[in-house]
Amino acid sequence: MAHTDQHQCHVLCRSCDLVVQKRALPSPVRALCPRCGTALYDTPYCSINGMLALCIAALIMFFPANLLPVLEIHFLGSIRNTTAFQAAIAVGDQGYWVVGVAVAISAVIAPLLLLSSILAQVCIAKFALHLELGKKTLRMLLKQQGLLSQLTMLEIYVLSFLVSAFQLSDFADVHMGMGTFCFTMLFLLLLFLQREYNLEHMWGLLDDN
Amino acid sequence: MTTSSSLDNQTQIQGMNKGLCLCKVCRKINLTSNGSCTRCHAPLATRNYASIGQSWALLITAVILLVLANIYPITLITNRGVVTNDTIFSGTVHLVKTGMIPIAIIVFTASVLVPWLKIIGLAIYLTAISFNLPVSKKKLMVGFHIIEWIGRWSMLDLFVISITVALVNMGQLLDAKPAPAATAFALVILLTQLAAKVLDTRLLWDRLEPQNDAK
């Protein structure tokens, strides 16, 4: 009995295993571990509909962002351009497949999987939480969430095509186009989506039912 | 299980001593005696003692690869028939020489500073746990969170290489190709991220604890 009570009003720090008493927090405040400073919890709030909107917008943006060239150079009359995925393939073709795979996963595959996973989670939360299959799928998706969001590196990719543009402007004319714009928009949408998303809250959905 | 009367001890109870344990997958508090998490069904473990050894192994491999990544060229550029090998460092120096200081700072941070800082930081962290060094645990923890966060930024270098290789590909006139250090650098990023992820940081707080409040 005593143990079940402790469950509710305590949290454990994931970094140092300290037992911390849980208190109610106002919404923009985050509780930090008093001993090691790790973020412990905040008021888990996320608007399911807002997430759905951001997620669909990001998925729509994903396709032009990856099909249109992110960078184009004009060099002595010849024009060359590349998308994120083609760039990964190009490095792989040179025999550096470790680099190619790393680039493809972090710039293309992981973001797509992350978006699809969040879309599926939101749909389950809205429509299928009462079904056993829905709960099972949600549990499976939530387990992968941490890994997927760590592998997604759109912010770094956006910075990297700016860096490449500056470096290449030494040799050739560099042009940015619709693809660059879409990629940047994709990055912004995902950024806001990840701000809205709260893993703790999503796990909480499984608790209540 | 001792309930000490001192305030310090009361405010610093470890979950392990109370028979509680955090699920490492979904972060739900569980009774350790349950065996597996009630929410996500993942197996529970109070501490992962093997993680120090695993983390050391990954880190040492990463150090060897990082040295290789810095010695060998990372790109091979052909400009009007002249072939130049650029290492990570010479690439940054070249940027400074051409006057692109802000870009040089970004590239230097992502490809030189971050990997080295990360490896040195993790090494200090692991040494402190393994040999019980009297270092401030709080500072170590702050450093560790920074390491976890900045680690991914090294990917910048690989993205830039991939874009350059895909765009600049015109035979003898102008051509860019990756060189051996690129693979080594990619592995350094992977291994250091894993080393930080594998490590069970709760061990740091356990190991130095008995000294502080010995009976």
Q: What confidence tens digit (pLDDT) does each residue in A166-208 have?
A: 888 877 889 888 999 999 999 999 999 998 898 888 888 887 6
> Which structural domain, as residue segments, surrounds residue A37?
10-42
Whether residues A37 and A58 share a domain: the answer is no
Is A65 in the same domain as A32?
no
Has residue A5 been placed in a domain?
A: no
**Co-location of A169 and A124 in the same domain:** yes
Cα separation, B94 vs A165, in Å, equals 16
Residue A173 falls within a domain, yes or no? yes
In 3D, which of A75, A71, A78 has the Cα closest to residue A173? A75
Residue A120 has pLDDT above 90, yes or no: yes
Cα of B183 to nearest chain A Cα, Å: 6
pLDDT, one tens digit per residue, over A60-112 is 999 999 999 999 998 878 888 999 999 999 999 999 999 999 999 999 999 99
Rounded CA separation A105/A61 (Å): 18
Gap between the Cα atoms of B2 and A99, Å rounded: 53
B38, closest residue in chain A (CA to CA)? A207
The helix (H) or strand (E) run that includes residue A16 is none
Q: Do A71 and B190 touch (CB under 8 A)?
A: no
pLDDT tens, residue order, chain B (215 aa) = 333 333 344 457 777 778 888 888 888 888 888 888 888 888 887 788 889 999 999 999 999 999 999 999 999 988 888 888 889 999 889 889 888 888 899 999 999 999 999 999 999 989 988 888 877 888 888 888 888 888 889 999 999 999 999 998 877 788 889 999 999 999 999 999 999 988 888 887 776 554 543 33
Domain co-membership, A71 together with A54: yes
Q: Which residues of chain B make contact with A164, given a CB cutoff of 8 A?
A: 159-160, 163-164, 167
With beta carbons less than 8 A apart as the criterion, state whether A102 and B186 touch: yes
Compute CA distances A69 → A65, A97, A178, whole Å.
8, 21, 8
CB proximity list for A75: less than 8 A, separation 6 or greater: A171, A172, A173, B168, B170, B173, B174
Residue among B119, B157, B115, B92 at smallest CA distance from A153: B157
A35 and A61 both lie in a single domain: no
Of the candidates B152, B158, B167, the beta carbon closest to that of A82 is on: B167
B94 touches chain A (CB under 8 A): no
Q: From the candidates A85, A99, A153, A209, which should be mutated to test the interface with B, based on the most B CB atoms within 10 A?
A: A99
Q: Which helix (H) or strand (E) holds A17?
A: none
A53 shares a domain with A141: yes
Q: Is residue A4 part of a domain?
A: no
Residue (of A128, A144, A180, A140) closest to A159 by Cα position: A180
A1 part of a folded domain: no
pLDDT bracket for residue A2 (50, 70, 90): very low
Number of domains present in the structure of chain A: 2
Backbone phi, psi, residue A82, to 5°: -150, 150
A189 falls within a domain: yes
Cα dihedral across residues A8, A37, B191, A193: positive or negative:
positive
Cβ distance A18 to B201 under 8 Å? no
Question: Residue B183: its chain A contacts at CB < 8 A?
Answer: 96, 98-99
- Helix extents (H) in A105-177: 110-123, 132-151, 154-168
Cβ(B192)–Cβ(B59) below 8 Å: yes
Instruction: Identify all chain A residues contacting B164, using CB atoms and an 8 Å cutoff.
Output: 164, 167-168
A36 & A94 share domain: no
pLDDT at A141 over 50: yes
What's the alpha-carbon Rg for chain B, to the nearest Å? 23
Q: What pLDDT is recorded for position B145?
A: 86
Q: How many CA atoms lie within 13 A of A170 on its CB side?
A: 17
pLDDT at B209: 54
In a domain, A85, yes or no: yes
The residue among A160, A171, A183 with the most chain B CBs within 10 A of its CB, best to mutate, is A160
Query: A194 and A152 in one domain?
Result: yes
Of these ranges, A5-9, A34-38, B174-178, the one predicted with the greatest mean pLDDT is B174-178
- Whether A92 and A161 map to the same domain: the answer is yes
Of B100, B155, B167, the CB nearest to A80: B167
**Number of H helices and number of E strands within chain B?**
10, 6
Q: What separation in angstroms does the CA of B113 have from each of A133, B66, B117?
A: 47, 12, 6
Which residue in A has a C-alpha nearest to residue B199's C-alpha? A15
Spacing of C-alpha B214 from chain mean position: 33
Q: What is the pTM of this model?
A: 0.86
The C-alpha atoms of residue B37 and residue B152 are separated, in whole angstroms, by 30
Residue A68 carries which side chain, given as an amino acid letter? L
Task: Pick B215 or A137 by higher pLDDT.
Answer: A137
| Predicted local confidence at residue B63, as pLDDT | 96
For chain B, the straight-line distance linking the first and the last C-alpha, in angstroms and rounded, comes to 13
In chain B, positions 147-176, which contact chain A (CB-CB < 8 Å)?
Answer: 152-153, 155-156, 158-170, 173-174
User: What percent of chain A is modeled with pLDDT above 70?
Assistant: 94
B29 Cβ under 8 Å from any chain A Cβ: yes
Residues of B within 8 A of A70 (CB-CB) are 163
Say if residue A93 is in the same domain as residue A152.
yes
Asked if B62 and B195 count as a contact pair (C-beta separation under 8 A), the reply is yes
Domain assignment of residue A57, yes or no? yes
Give the mean model confidence (pLDDT) for residues A140-158. Answer: 92
Contacts of B153 (CB under 8 A, 6+ apart): A156, B109, B110, B114
Per DSSP (E only), the strands in B35-126 are 75-79, 82-86
Chain-centre distance for alpha carbon B155: 12
Across the interface, whether the CB atoms of A19 and B13 are under 8 A apart is answered yes
Q: Are A168 and A77 part of one and the same domain?
A: yes
Query: A89-128 burial by CB neighbour count: b if 16+ within 10 A, else e?
Result: bbbbebebbbbbebbbbbbbbbbbbbbebbbbbbbbbeee
Q: Which pLDDT does position A60 carry in this prediction? A: 96
Give the integer Cα–Cα distance in Å for A205 and A207: 5
Same domain, A32 and A73: no
> Which has the closest alpha carbon to A102: B155, B117, B100, B15?
B155
Nearest chain A Cα distance for residue B127, angstroms: 17
What does the block give as tokens for B55? 């983390």
B41 touches chain A (CB under 8 A): yes
Determine, for residues A19 and B20 on separate chains, whether the beta-carbon distance falls below 8 Å. Answer: yes
